[in-house]
Structure 1
Amino acid sequence: MYDKIPTLGIMSNFSGLAPTFQEKEFYKKLSMIGRRSGIGVFVFSPLQVDFDTRTVTGYFLKRDEWQKESFALPDVVYDRCFISPGYRQYKPFIEKLQNDPQITFMSNGLAGKWQVYQILALSPELSSLLPDTQPFSWKSFAAKLRTEKAVVVKPASGTHGNGVIRITLNKGKFEVIGRKRNNQPLHKKIHSWQNLHAFIIHFIADRPFILQRYLDLNTPDGAPFDVRVLVQKDGEGKWQTTGKAVRMGEKKSITSNLHGGGRAFPLVPFLEKYFSRKQQLRIMAEIDRVAELLPPFLETYHGRLAELGIDLGVDREGRVWVIEVNSRPGRYVFRQIADQTARLRSLTQPVEYAQYLIKVRVGGY
């Protein structure tokens, strides 16, 4: 299968025994775009790689159905293995593939929020846009909460707002709002430092967390929102902004992720509703500046990247903040706002960039 054409392997964290991978519709679109571009696309689990024979059992799209097949290791790997509690079992196999000189990874996945913060803090242009962030410790957390009266605690790795909480201190009592590890809403009141300590230690367990300054990134009526900017490399290996959209969460929530019940809105009408004309122009210019500066700067220190979802907060004064950067971004936000141009580009760019990497590697085909 695909013996005479270049191949793009979509690496997904699933058992490999059946086509149970996530993002099936996204992978179908990539397969169809790849077919039109002369690239064979298949989906595989790193658990199903045979390094002795240099083959992998995966799935390819045939007549709109996923068919099981044995493939030679792909020319280019598109890493869509999301960080999850079970990620450790995949990691040794992923690292072995990354170290294979005959395989090109489209992107080296970002290690975590703290590592990204440390890199971006080195940038004279971007450092002032970062909320104060540090690794979590109870001592730092307690000191920051006493001083600032509100702090955010979030997993060092993870997506969809899972495990992100805000703790506020008011007259010796505490309120915890956010999402549990399973993305269910969490709202809890705690009446002593001792009980807060017990809750936090249990909530964090053995996972690394970060501690972040709380910013009021809400609409006037209390709904959290952020701006998702998708940037991707094109068929010439250059960074391009694919699209922008606002994600707004439910009132009294602290996250705006679509997986947590958030909704998406076009950027310009949203800004027109909540900000003055002068603020709108400044916000749009700052968003464009971040989209231009951040990807190449991050890539310089981290290594090759193919696409980034940049989440930006905007406070009541119209100041823009870099909240999070994701190297495995979703695309659903553009479907929600019916931006067909951005949605189509978000699907075609990975294939076009894979073509570029193959051409660079083999000198054309």
Structure 2
Amino acid sequence: MLALGLMSFNFMSELGYFTEIAKASAQHDITVYRFSPENIDTQNDLIKGEWFDIHSGIWLPASFPVPPFIYDRLFQGMMNSSERTREKIKWLKDHSTFLGYGLPGKWEVFQSVARLSGLKVFFPETSKIYESRDIWAELHKHGRIMLKPEFGSGGMGIYLLSKDKNSVRIRMTKKDGGYERTLSNVDQIERWFSVLLSESPYICQQYLELSNRENRPYDVRLFLQKDERNIWTERGRGVRVGSKHAVTANLAAGAKAIPFQSLLRSYPADIQKRIENSISVIKRTLPQELEKRFRRLFELGIDIGIDRSGKVWILDINSKPGRKLIEQLLQDKTHLLYSAPLLYCKYLDSELVKAGD
């Protein structure tokens, strides 16, 4: 019988998702485990975690051999893990087959694909921030910029900076809406820059006007997964509309989910067609180009901005995307999300059998 390990630091945040995958495993004849990388015993090739008992429908404590396949749901931006744990993860990649190996930081990803002839038109101008003078240079150039943590997720740590003469206005999104602060003292601004850059490496993007008439930010999430034939398939798309005066649109910070067609219909018919064509190019091209430059991927969440003229922008690329938006808008398709890791696991197993491994 095949076995699939679900790896995460936080079982509670993934509880529903992991349990639904485990429930679906019965029809695919796959044993499902879940574990934290901290509990990998590299000396004895064992892992302490839990296995899902199909009959009782509950997770039970277990020690088990390294599963032949791993579904990695570790989030790099939240991995304040020890060097020992990172070594265990590295060891595991040499002793098991991962459904997908994820992507590196935003800067490396953007550099690898943003200059490609078929894709460069969709990427906003992006630069790496090394020190505070880089932020000043971008502010002088654009007036308004977005600062994003290189390994961030969930919209955390994203700032909109605006320069006005000798002051800098700082805005970010919080759960109760927008947060704003204006710094007018150069030393104070420099201290804020220094503290920010000491906490995380950052990239800078030109500011794009991606808000509706009510001054609410919005973006489009495309959710893609590979199917049982190793073909990239769109599972769904939806729009996140943020709180008034917020900087980003994230469901965890109070954004609401609306169907993509609701947004599309707000544009004239000729622009609607152009938007759909642009999204089709991104879906068809981006996953393949990423896999050419990095290791195998299993799923992608592509965050897209559509400005008021109908121009489509790639804002972010997530190799470990959340599913909340799709679960809210497309409840009739959630069973596809839960069976997808199991079906792809079976595809990889068949390929290994063909290769004689």
Q: Are the structure 2 counterparts of residues 26 and 183 from structure 1 closer, same or farther at C-alpha, using a change threshold of 3 Å?
A: farther
Partner AA of 1:12 in structure 2: S
Correspondence for 1:279: 271
Instruction: Name the SS for the 1:205 alignment partner.
Output: helix
- Alignment pair present for 1:28 and 2:24: no
Correspondence for 2:9: 13
- What is the Cα deviation at residue 33 of structure 1? 1.1
Are 1:162 and 1:183, in contact at CA under 8 Å, matched by a contact in 2?
no
- Alignment pair present for 1:313 and 2:309: no
Correspondence for 2:291: 299
Correspondence for 1:264: 257
Q: Which moved more, 1:135-144 or 1:209-218?
A: 135-144
Q: Which moved more, 1:105-114 or 1:183-192?
A: 183-192
- What is the Cα deviation at residue 185 of structure 1? 5.2
- What is the Cα deviation at residue 261 of structure 1? 1.2
Partner AA of 1:245 in structure 2: G
Correspondence for 1:155: 149
Correspondence for 2:214: 221
Match of 1:121 among 97, 109, 114: 114
Are 1:59 and 1:68, in contact at CA under 8 Å, matched by a contact in 2?
yes
User: Counterparts of 1:260 and 1:13 in 2: how far apart (Å)?
Assistant: 22
Correspondence for 1:166: 160
User: Counterparts of 2:103 and 2:249 in 1: how far apart (Å)?
Assistant: 21
Are 1:163 and 1:183, in contact at CA under 8 Å, matched by a contact in 2?
no
1:83-131 Cα distance to aligned partner (Å, 9 max, x none): 215245532211111122xx11111121111111011124211112111
Correspondence for 2:74: 81
Correspondence for 1:98: 93
Q: Are the structure 2 counterparts of residues 252 and 58 from structure 1 closer, same or farther at C-alpha, using a change threshold of 3 Å?
A: same
Instruction: Name the SS for the 1:13 alignment partner.
Output: coil
- Alignment pair present for 1:340 and 2:335: no
Are 2:178 and 2:243, in contact at CA under 8 Å, matched by a contact in 1?
no
Instruction: Name the SS for the 2:280 alignment partner.
Output: helix
Identical amino acids, percent of aligned pairs: 30
- What is the Cα deviation at residue 173 of structure 1? 2.4
Instruction: Name the SS for the 1:162 alignment partner.
Output: coil
Q: Deviating runs (4+, > 4 A) in structure 1?
A: 182-185
Partner AA of 2:92 in structure 1: L
Q: Which moved more, 1:196-205 or 1:107-116?
A: 196-205
1:282-317 Cα distance to aligned partner (Å, 9 max, x none): 112211221111001101101100000000011111
Q: Which moved more, 1:343-352 or 1:298-307?
A: 343-352
Are 1:167 and 1:175, in contact at CA under 8 Å, matched by a contact in 2?
yes
Correspondence for 1:17: none
Are 1:161 and 1:183, in contact at CA under 8 Å, matched by a contact in 2?
no
Instruction: Name the SS for the 2:246 alignment partner.
Output: coil
User: Counterparts of 2:213 and 2:192 in 1: how far apart (Å)?
Assistant: 31
TM-score (norm 1): 0.91
Correspondence for 2:205: 212
- What is the Cα deviation at residue 198 of structure 1? 1.2
- What is the Cα deviation at residue 73 of structure 1? 0.6
Instruction: Name the SS for the 2:230 alignment partner.
Output: coil
User: Counterparts of 2:17 and 2:160 in 1: how far apart (Å)?
Assistant: 33
User: Counterparts of 2:306 and 2:91 in 1: how far apart (Å)?
Assistant: 41
- What is the Cα deviation at residue 254 of structure 1? 1.1
CA RMSD between the two structures: 1.9
Q: Which moved more, 1:70-79 or 1:186-195?
A: 186-195
User: Counterparts of 2:66 and 2:12 in 1: how far apart (Å)?
Assistant: 19
- Alignment pair present for 1:358 and 2:341: no
Correspondence for 2:227: 234
Are 2:177 and 2:254, in contact at CA under 8 Å, matched by a contact in 1?
no
- Aligned length, in residue pairs: 350
User: Counterparts of 2:176 and 2:301 in 1: how far apart (Å)?
Assistant: 20
Are 1:57 and 1:70, in contact at CA under 8 Å, matched by a contact in 2?
yes
User: Counterparts of 2:18 and 2:344 in 1: how far apart (Å)?
Assistant: 16
- What is the Cα deviation at residue 193 of structure 1? 2.8
TM-score (norm 2): 0.93
Q: Which moved more, 1:122-131 or 1:313-322?
A: 122-131
- Alignment pair present for 1:190 and 2:183: yes
Partner AA of 1:284 in structure 2: E
Are 1:166 and 1:254, in contact at CA under 8 Å, matched by a contact in 2?
yes
User: Counterparts of 1:143 and 1:204 in 2: how far apart (Å)?
Assistant: 15
Partner AA of 1:10 in structure 2: L
